[in-house]
Chain A
């Protein structure tokens, strides 16, 4: 099993704050991995570091052997790595269908940028929207969706882009609890059927236990522990971090 993502001693400081300090982790291709840790431990910062939202201060990040740390944000998705946002980012004034159609992975060459959107795109978009449960709302403006629905739209848009690996920032936050089982099921299906590696930041431990094959725990900007979900659940350091003892 090869590593699809290799993070090596990545550090990121904001002024005096050590948001990420010497973080290292590897993610095996085709796995589902979760990143947990109390608020402020640097999880989203790590995501931002990986996808190039900000430059890192030291370390290396390799996706399928390619070094990401010097790349710009828009150069990374074509390699097959996508992320979703904690505070959803969608195209608010456009319909869900348009959000989907514009998310398809296509060439941005001068020759291709003026292509018309093919009809097949509609079918594909509808299919994926149906998969996440948003079919009925597909013609509404994305900005009119509730927070949880926008999270699902983001997921759908990401799937439209055919990624090899998906980094999800709190995918179940804001989702109606009755739907969470459905989401977990969907994520497992995405991983199993479409072979998409998942790297998921989560606060909901039930989701982590049911979803993840491997768990990384961060605290205070450092990697605290990692292992199988059951091990992490009982890890004293992790428990202390969450309860604020350390």
Chain B
């Protein structure tokens, strides 16, 4: 089988996978944040990523290096996330989770279609002009842009984690995640916390998107796979398990690359969704042995 016969190709796939996995992990961390603090599953997660990509793409189109787009994407999505919270999301936070799923689904459709109208439906990428390094006698190629996006993604994740641990807002967010009622009683403005959490999540996605457009491609309809990937990562790792989320993100990236390599790239997206189902069913069956179910 192909996987066994070509060790370098496998290694290549794994390396590429880890590098893109860092981006997945970043997006998953954002989703875990929104989910853990506000108990909403943000279906628009992927659309935030793609939108972030388009912002950076526009920067690139204006003649600048896409790397300057990263902070811009971050800031733009932060503001957008904040606005969306104040306009729509705050109305669904306390309700049935399906309501929040549907509401964010509606938001995702709107963003997706607006992007389609503004940017068109062709696939885009932003060139960074970074080269490639070759290892093992040209058997392994590492695109420097992929490597740098890996570094930025990891740095971004660590940055947000550090912010969460040390800043006043970060601690307020963590307190609210553990017990919103208690936090409220102790004087934490939960509405503010929720708004900033959603905004930070959007910003993280924006940053991830800028990395995606640099290293791969974007397209208005490519959002949902990112949403699904982050959902998968969160349920595999568990909501509060940050190192787990990061590790699972990397793992998923590697798994995806290997599968795309083994089965063919046209199956890639389908496989992502299939993995989701497999993970869910596997987890459920394991819990069912203890006569429990996924809550």
Contact = CB atoms under 8 A, between A and B. Distances in A.
Interface of A: 52-55, 72-73
Interface string B269-295: 000000000000000000001111000
Interface in B238-295: 289-292
A148 to B, nearest CB: 25
A55 B289 CA distance: 8
A53 B291 CA distance: 7
Nearest to A48: B291
A72 B292 CA distance: 11
A54 B291 CA distance: 6
Shortest Cβ-Cβ A-B pairs, 6 listed: A54-B291, A55-B291, A55-B290, A54-B290, A53-B291, A52-B291
Contacts of B289: 55
Which of B290, B291, B292 has the most chain A CB atoms closer than 10 A to its own CB?
Answer: B291
Contacts of A52: 291
Nearest to B288: A72
A57 B185 CA distance: 41
Nearest to B289: A55
Main secondary structure of the interface of B (DSSP, over half): loop
Interface of B: 289-292
A72 B293 CA distance: 14
Contacts of B290: 54-55
Contacts of A55: 289-291
Contacts of A53: 291
B56 to A, nearest CB: 47
Contacts of B291: 52-55, 72-73
A52 B291 CA distance: 8
A55 B292 CA distance: 10
A55 B290 CA distance: 6
A211 to B, nearest CB: 31
A53 B292 CA distance: 8
Contacts of A72: 291
A73 B290 CA distance: 12
Nearest to A52: B291
Contacts of B292: 54
Contacts of A73: 291
A54 B292 CA distance: 8
B226 to A, nearest CB: 35
A49 to B, nearest CB: 11
10 contacts: A52-B291, A53-B291, A54-B290, A54-B291, A54-B292, A55-B289, A55-B290, A55-B291, A72-B291, A73-B291
Contacts of A54: 290-292
B238 to A, nearest CB: 15
A57 to B, nearest CB: 11
A53 B290 CA distance: 9
B32 to A, nearest CB: 23
A54 B289 CA distance: 9
Nearest to B292: A54
Given A54-B292, A72-B291, 8 more contacts: A52-B291, A53-B291, A54-B290, A54-B291, A55-B289, A55-B290, A55-B291, A73-B291
B290 to A, nearest CB: 6
A58 B229 CA distance: 40
A31 B267 CA distance: 65
A73 B292 CA distance: 11
A240 B93 CA distance: 47
B62 to A, nearest CB: 56
A212 to B, nearest CB: 30
A44 to B, nearest CB: 15
A68 B289 CA distance: 16
A73 B291 CA distance: 9
A73 B293 CA distance: 13
B285 to A, nearest CB: 14
A51 to B, nearest CB: 11
B292 to A, nearest CB: 8
A168 to B, nearest CB: 22
B289 to A, nearest CB: 8
A229 to B, nearest CB: 34
A48 to B, nearest CB: 10
A72 B290 CA distance: 10
